Structure 1
């Protein structure tokens, strides 16, 4: 109730005067009914608890991110999204916007009010003459990769199966292709945006440079994006997949990773290493990737030479590479992520990450933890060179080199363990940050990735010197604070 009161008092007097039916908390059903009777397209539907569509609309990859909404709404047109936004604003009903439902932060894409699911925005239109594709926000990246393969092209998107378009394209988008082409948001050229007042607009760098800046990294602060147009790139078959090692080989794997980081500058080559602790056993898995049917001699030979217990490496389509990765085995867990930037992985930092994985993995086994992972994600210093115009994230690219990252993932099953998991993760992140500083890497100006930042992260830590501009843009486009009725990083 306190959150609802805060939102209401923050609205302008003009909006209050226009509303004669301000809903009290818990009376969201009336808003659901009004949306159902007001939309212009018969294909736009409102669903209620008990229907398969409602279940799908409210379901999230992480169980800790789901809530029970009063109803779900699947708009079929951008105009109907606008109608719903006007009703939600008038009634002061909280709502959520779901693309793929992969957010790990509770409340970011779920609500007790009206759950808006964008599944009907599922079209992919490829424009070969412009080397672009227009993609609906109701899709997942797997579908986009598969559809575009018939044209021998791809786009810069998620590296894991099952991830929706929205959070990636509006929040950043680190990819296996990012050393070549930048982040996903760098490759966005146009957005169809339903603004908080219900107006539908096409936003490009020339039509509205401020909103174009804000949408690339600023999530849903400025309205609801229904489609995005992105650059496409030629795509042949690739070489890669997964190779896994037992704990006894971990030190040897770290040595090979350190050598790879120090000596390989080929933008087509990529390694993503995951240290896991599951069922009382630590192990390490590497994703090896080369953007061609075969990799040049020597780049990955040392990885293959180490004794390993599992291997799925081959020449394959890009979509097949994504779909073979094991991310979806953690569907339904309670989840949190965190993110530690650094300049470069060194042998001592890699050893530290291994020790953190083993130490906290053993400590948390007494709770309901199913899996913890510490991911080593090395990028080239030129990572942030691939963009034409500045974006909301990361706003500090003009003055610094590209960063590599440690990604921390905790997955567990018992809600009673939530506070403990977040506490332990914060302790580990603080230790790793200090270790990196003590190792001589100045990360003072490094920004945290909003898609992997834990709940409660300060906006300044993600957006830096762009925050003031983003707040000004939000005030201009949403003077009545309509988007404050939904979850996410709020400017």
Structure 2
């Protein structure tokens, strides 16, 4: 996907077309001279596709909502190699699913995002890459008791694991306002307007050596559990079915139901299966149109630079098997 790197600003409609292979660094650098930006990522080196499809908390979220609330249209490659434009009018169910449903509904090659004003940027420093994991706890407020519990966890792990090579512990208290879901456009990731919206806490552990993987991963899981218990002890209503975790911060083994609490997980899976069945029917009808599929892949290649016949055949093979992967 790294060849999908187009950035097109439409001044009349105040929208920006973004190729799925871009990093947020590329997007901000290109849009900065134009005095506009999009509601996107906060960390250098992050790709745009995963963040948008997972929800997209941003430094602009207090003003404009999440990234998915500012996505107007998606260009999607379906399992039968069709290239379709997905918006709220053309394919409303898929449009809903792409708003927080990650990459479970096809291959997104382009995002059309709403442009918002941007003043001069002051870039942050970059540093060498480390091994790391993210985790999260959703809370309703940062009370003194909860902040003290967070500080105690940081002090403990700094004293027990701080001497490990590259050790780094971070629990980010992000300054989101209670109104930051007021611009919600709905989607598979639950985020409805509320007087006490859930605030995602970004918990991150980093380290240098593969041999330390288990001890740091176990550590971040213990921290997550301790902070969740502290929030419950603080009388915050975030337990059981009220707990909704932000997928882009959640650990990779997080159960689906902890991300889609306000919709039954079976509803999300059923929606995916319904759309997959529809695409499968079209796919079966076009199995004998291999040349047409290859033509579709050539159209994709036009966006992604030069591609030889072998490249196209490989991409076609991947798409022909996407249906089975989606199941």
TM-score (norm 1): 0.55
2:267 aligned to which of 449, 456, 469: 469
Taking only aligned residues, the RMSD between alpha carbons, in angstroms, comes to 2.0
1:436 aligns with 2:231: yes
> CA–CA distance in 2 between the matches of 1:354 and 1:400?
27
Correspondence for 1:61: none
> CA–CA distance in 2 between the matches of 1:167 and 1:446?
22
1:452 aligns with 2:249: yes
Correspondence for 1:57: none
> CA–CA distance in 1 between the matches of 2:61 and 2:191?
17
Q: Kindly tell me the number of residue pairs found equivalent between the two proteins.
A: 282
Give 1:145 shift: 1.7
Correspondence for 2:317: none
Q: After the TM superposition, which segments of 4 or more aligned residues of structure 1 sit over 6 Å from their partners?
A: none
Give 1:366 shift: 4.9
Give 1:218 shift: 0.9
Correspondence for 2:179: 382
What is the 5 A alignment of 1:60-459? 118-235=1-118, 237=119, 317-318=120-121, 321=122, 323-324=123-124, 326=125, 328-331=126-129, 333-388=130-185, 390-393=186-189, 395-397=190-192, 401-444=196-239, 445-459=242-256
> CA–CA distance in 2 between the matches of 1:343 and 1:170?
24
Which has a greater percent of strand?
1
8 Å CA contact 2:75, 2:84 repeated in 1? yes
- 3-state SS, counterpart of residue 226 of structure 1: strand
> CA–CA distance in 2 between the matches of 1:228 and 1:362?
44
* Cα deviation 1:30-63 (Å, max 9, x = unaligned): xxxxxxxxxxxxxxxxxxxxxxxxxxxxxxxxxx
8 Å CA contact 1:174, 1:184 repeated in 2? yes
> CA–CA distance in 1 between the matches of 2:201 and 2:157?
15
Q: Which runs of 5 or more structure 2 residues have no equivalent in the other structure?
A: 281-320
- 3-state SS, counterpart of residue 189 of structure 1: strand
Correspondence for 1:104: none
> CA–CA distance in 2 between the matches of 1:483 and 1:201?
16
> CA–CA distance in 2 between the matches of 1:145 and 1:159?
11
Correspondence for 1:482: 322
8 Å CA contact 1:222, 1:483 repeated in 2? no
> CA–CA distance in 2 between the matches of 1:416 and 1:483?
37
Give 1:153 shift: 1.3
Give 1:225 shift: 0.3
> CA–CA distance in 2 between the matches of 1:419 and 1:330?
21
